[in-house]
Amino acid sequence: MLHLPDRCRAVGGVLSRIGDKWSVLVVMQLSGGPKRFSALKRSIGSVSQRMLTLTLRGLERDGLVLRTVTPTVPPRVDYELTELGHSLRQPVEALGGWAMENYRRIEAAQKAFDEVREEGGG
Amino acid sequence: MLHLPDRCRAVGGVLSRIGDKWSVLVVMQLSGGPKRFSALKRSIGSVSQRMLTLTLRGLERDGLVLRTVTPTVPPRVDYELTELGHSLRQPVEALGGWAMENYRRIEAAQKAFDEVREEGGG
DNA sequence: CTGCATCCTAGGGGATACTG
DNA sequence: CAGTATCCCCTAGGATGCAG
């Protein structure tokens, strides 16, 4: 096993790209196959059009998502994961699994922390 | 395998907490055992004192880091991962592994994307 | 339908100075 | 040494309107 500092920087780089508000959601939504812009927007729901566009551009630029334009009227644009995009699913889902298993513990810790703070502060 | 939407939200929540600029770095730095504030700051290097403090508070609140104050003069504060904090290492390192394996591919994709953009735009 | 440009606000995060 | 408070900048990101 290589020592950690290298991985740290690598993780830092990855997180600064996919650690934004929407990238991971989009990748997950594209797990099942291609989706067009509006379908993607609907399936995520709370994302603004602007941010979905920007997020998809970013993912496309990173080579994680492939954008296919069908120049009809009205235009149709499909997005799908590249092989690289699919390979990201595994570690992301590992993180998702961890989150699922532990978010209750985290919430409990936050609650406890905040209560102690209140007592100490008030 | 459970379907994805649940995991999506969980990942979203986790990423919004540890997806900031420093949390993961701090967790990785604490992998080897307890460290005091200044050692942590030195080992990360580029972090500001303010952000290190805020990051550690956040991690402590989430129950990922334990803070131990030794009220000497000058004061000494040690930070260490909790069990929960240690459990986060595994998925994070998985992500780190992915990043290590693929960041060159990502950089290449970005370069290609940008060059096409230049041609198209100029 | 898809995407860009614009405006605008909240918050992240750096530098610095001060406290205990 | 560790932490807080202040100032300030910059970017993420929402709302909206226009264009292909």
* A109 with B12: Cβ contact below 8 A: no
Strand D contact at CB of residue A3, distance < 7 A: no
- The chain-wide mean pLDDT, for chain B, equals 90
**Residue A97, amino acid:** G
Flag the least confident range among A91-105, B10-24, B77-91.
Answer: B10-24
* A99 with B13: Cβ contact below 8 A: yes
Give, in order, the Cα–Cα distances in Å from B87 to each of A94, A97, A107, B11, B65.
12, 12, 16, 15, 12
| Strands laid side by side in the A76-81 sheet | A35-36, A76-81, A65-70
Percent of chain A with pLDDT over 70: 91
Q: Is the peptide bond before A34 cis (omega within 30 degrees of 0)?
A: no
Q: How far is the CA of B63 from the C1' of D2 (A)?
A: 21
Q: What is the pLDDT of residue A8?
A: 67
Q: How far is the CA of B48 from the C1' of D9 (A)?
A: 16
Angle between the N-to-C axes of helices A83-121 and B4-18, in degrees from 0 to 180, rounded to the nearest 10: 60
* Residue A74: nearest nucleotide (C-alpha to C1'): C1
Higher local confidence (pLDDT), A6 or B51:
B51
Sign of CA dihedral B47, B52, B54, B59: positive
Residues in CB range of A43: below 8 A, 6 or more apart: A29, A35
Q: Band of the pLDDT at B85, cuts 50, 70, 90?
A: very high
- The chain-wide mean pLDDT, for chain A, equals 90
* A102 with B87: Cβ contact below 8 A: yes
Q: What is the pLDDT of residue B117?
A: 78
Residue B120 has pLDDT above 70, yes or no: no
**Nearest-neighbour CA in chain A from B65: distance (Å):** 11
Residues in CB range of B29: below 8 A, 6 or more apart: A8, B35, B40, B43, B44
Contact A68, A77 (CB under 8 A): yes
Strand D contact at CB of residue B35, distance < 7 A: no
Flag the least confident range among A28-42, A74-88, B1-15, B23-37.
Answer: B1-15
